[in-house]
Amino acid sequence: MRRWFIQREINPNQTGRSNSTYGIALFLLGVALMTAMDAAVKWLVEDRVHVIQLLAIRSCIITLLLFGYYASRRQLSQLKPVRVTAQCIRGLIGFLAPFAFFLALKYLPLTAASVVFFSNIFLITLGSAFFLKEKVGVYRWSAVVIGYIGVLIAIDPNADGELFGYMMILVSSVSFAFLFISGKMLSSTETSESLVLFYNMGVGVVAMFWLPGIWQTLAITDLLGILLVSVLAVFGQYCMTHAFALAEASLLAPLNYTTLVLTLIFDLVLWQTIPSAQTLLGATIIILSSCLVIYRQHQQAS
């Protein structure tokens, strides 16, 4: 949450290449932090902590961190929403994104879950065409179709987890695409800080509603694990958000796939799991199709 560091180090007179270098470094750090968060979540939810309990506590911690940070800088106005109802609806529906993904990690290896989750880029393309009225040509539609063929190939219940886990990943992808599209629609009036705050508050409200029925006493190691997850989430989102302010989205988006390298390492070291050939083939198709979508979007923007 060290916004002052970014502001102090980035000089307006610096070249675009320098800004891009900072952006790439920040983005890669953000990807690493978010992947580490996923690994920590998997360790917690496999047989230690209920997903609802994890989300409730995590949301409280993130909300307090945001309020504390902006209060210390006397910038609480950054958190003030303009369209309160729309923000609340977005936060409540957005609950499904982390809930379904974290639940899936209980049944899937980290790499398999990450591969299928990348299908959200195709859902975002669909949503952009229908809700944002963006022009999507034949190349991107073809990439979407081929990408989902890759998703079907990557889903391998016989080798890499249970079918229920894959279904939860797809639910999470749909919810994430909704968050992305709705965030873009609201960005004309809302600050990014208020969008992050109300999203996390929405997740917390839904989780708190279910919490009394599943509450269990947590060990100190579990509480520390949830605190770690929360801190990694805040700093990871911070790095990735500010990276987009420094470098072009088309330059950064393909770097998302470094997640797969990191998940492979986590799966191998922590769970001694190697993805099947079928999952790797599906991942290759998804990555190539996603890169085509990103390339065509950048071409159109140019």
- Asked if the structure places residue 2 within a domain, the reply is no
- Position 122 in a domain: yes
Residue 3 maps to a domain? no
Q: Is residue 242 part of a domain?
A: yes
Using CB atoms within 10 Å of the CB of residue 171, give its burial: 0 to 12 exposed, 13 to 18 middle, 19+ buried.
Answer: middle
Domain that holds residue 149: 15-301
When divided into structural domains, the chain yields a total of 1
In a domain, 152, yes or no: yes
pLDDT, tens digit (0-9, with 9 covering 90-100), for 96-121: 999 999 999 999 999 999 999 988 88
Record the pTM.
0.86
7 occurs within a structural domain: no
Question: d(Cα 71, Cα 37) in Å, to the nearest integer?
Answer: 26
Residue type, 254: P
pLDDT per position as a tens digit, 189-216? 998 889 989 999 999 999 999 999 999 9
Cα separation, 139 vs 126, in Å, equals 13
Q: pLDDT value at position 5?
A: 28
Q: Work out the angle at residue 223's Cα, subtended by the Cα atoms of residues 220 and 226, and round it to the nearest 5 degrees.
A: 150
**Nearest one of 293, 292, 180, 244 to 24, comparing CA atoms:** 244
Q: With b meaning 16 or more CB within 10 Å and e meaning fewer, what string describes 262-289?
A: bbbebbeeeeebebbebbbebbebbbeb
Residue 149 lies in a domain: yes
Residue-wise pLDDT tens for the chain (302 aa)? 333 223 333 344 444 566 778 888 999 999 999 999 999 999 999 988 999 999 999 999 999 999 999 999 999 999 999 999 999 999 999 999 999 999 999 999 999 999 999 888 888 888 888 888 878 788 888 888 898 898 989 888 777 778 999 999 999 999 999 998 998 899 889 988 899 899 999 999 999 999 999 999 999 999 999 999 999 998 988 888 778 778 776 677 778 888 999 999 999 999 999 888 889 999 999 888 888 887 777 676 66
The predicted structure's pLDDT at residue 17? 63
Q: Nearest-CA neighbor of 204 among 92, 87, 68?
A: 92
Domain-located, residue 28: yes
| CA 207 vs CA 28, 40, 215, 256, 279: distances in Å | 30, 19, 11, 28, 32
